[in-house]
């Protein structure tokens, strides 16, 4: 498993890449799931890439998929490099890398409204409703 700093460094490398639904490409764009898949693939973590989801994901399916492939972590004990799941229109349907900076806790995520990958203060996104950790071998 790579160090958290390596995961965050790779996620930050994607900042400014355009947002694209179901995107999985540095040049053509990524969505929040695509960012997770692309960062994980950089370290050969064996994360299965699931596609075919709608613009508004079914939160139950997303959470089940994350439980199947990642390690569930208590929301109160997450660390740098963990994956936060956030509410979107009342449903757990958005992902981002949890990080820390000089100003506090941040999230690196593909923001549909801003049309790109951004890092912003966690207070702007809200607290994660679930947290997962990448693990070797998926």
Flag whether 115 is in a domain: yes
- State the burial class of residue 90 (Cβ atoms within 10 Å of its Cβ: 0-12, 13-18, 19+): exposed
For residue 41, what are the domain limits? 4-133
Q: How much is the pTM?
A: 0.91
Flag whether 138 is in a domain: no
DSSP states of 66-92 as a string?
HHHHSEEE-GGG--TTPEEEEEETTEE
| The pLDDT value given to residue 56 | 67
Percentage with pLDDT > 90 across the chain:
70
Question: For residue 65, what is the domain's CATH number?
Answer: 3.90.1720.10
| Residues 38-67 pLDDT 10s | 999 999 888 888 776 766 666 788 888 999
User: 101 pairs with which residues across the strands?
Assistant: 104
Flag whether 57 is in a domain: yes
Count up the domains in the chain and report the number.
1
Flag whether 63 is in a domain: yes
Residues sharing a CB contact under 8 Å with residue 55, sequence separation 6 or more, in sequence order: 21
């Amino acid at each position: 498993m790579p160090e958290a700093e390596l995961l965050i460094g790779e996620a930050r490398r994607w900042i400014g890449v355009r947002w694209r639904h179901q995107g999985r490409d540095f040049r053509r764009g990524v969505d929040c799931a695509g960012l997770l898949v692309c960062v994980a693939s950089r370290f050969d973590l064996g994360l299965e890439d699931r596609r075919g989801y709608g613009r508004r994901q079914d939160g139950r399916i997303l959470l089940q998929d994350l439980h199947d492939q990642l390690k569930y972590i208590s929301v109160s004990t997450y660390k740098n490099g963990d994956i936060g799941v956030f509410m979107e229109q009342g449903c757990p349907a958005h992902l981002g890398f949890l990080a820390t900076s000089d100003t506090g806790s941040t999230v690196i995520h593909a923001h549909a409204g801003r049309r790109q990958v951004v890092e912003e203060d966690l207070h702007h996104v809200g607290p994660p409703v679930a947290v997962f950790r990448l693990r070797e071998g998926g």
